[in-house]
Amino acid sequence: MNQNIEETFFLDAEEGSKECKIITSMYSETRKKYYLIYEYVENKEEEIFVSSYEPNEEDGTLNDITDEKELEEITKFLEEFEAENE
């Protein structure tokens, strides 16, 4: 399941606080994980980021995705999402 969300949030990064725009979110039934797909508001390189998160945690921690198979699954989802929204 995915959602179209038009929201922004601030992410504390090494180069300072970055305003981010949420592209979409998704839940993986196979991994039992939630993901947030987002980009920087001032995104000159058009980079897209993805992090996992726990929706019930109050601190809003975003976790890096380091597993290659997991990244492949998310990339496939994102390609399908973009094709549907063109």
Q: What is the pLDDT of residues 9-20, one digit of tens each?
A: 999 878 889 999
Q: What is the pLDDT of residues 3-61, one digit of tens each?
A: 454 689 999 878 889 999 999 999 999 999 999 999 999 877 889 999 999 988 888 89
State pTM to two decimals: 0.81
Q: Domain range holding 9?
A: 2-84
Which pLDDT score is estimated for 6? 67
Provide the 3-class DSSP secondary structure of residue 70. Answer: helix
Query: ∠ CA 10-75-30 to the nearest 5 degrees?
Result: 95
Give me the numbers of helices (H) and strands (E) for the chain, helices first please: 1, 5
Provide the 3-class DSSP secondary structure of residue 80. Answer: helix
The phi, psi pair for 19, rounded to 5°, reads -80, 130
Q: How many domains does the chain have?
A: 1
Assigned token pair, 16: 């300072």
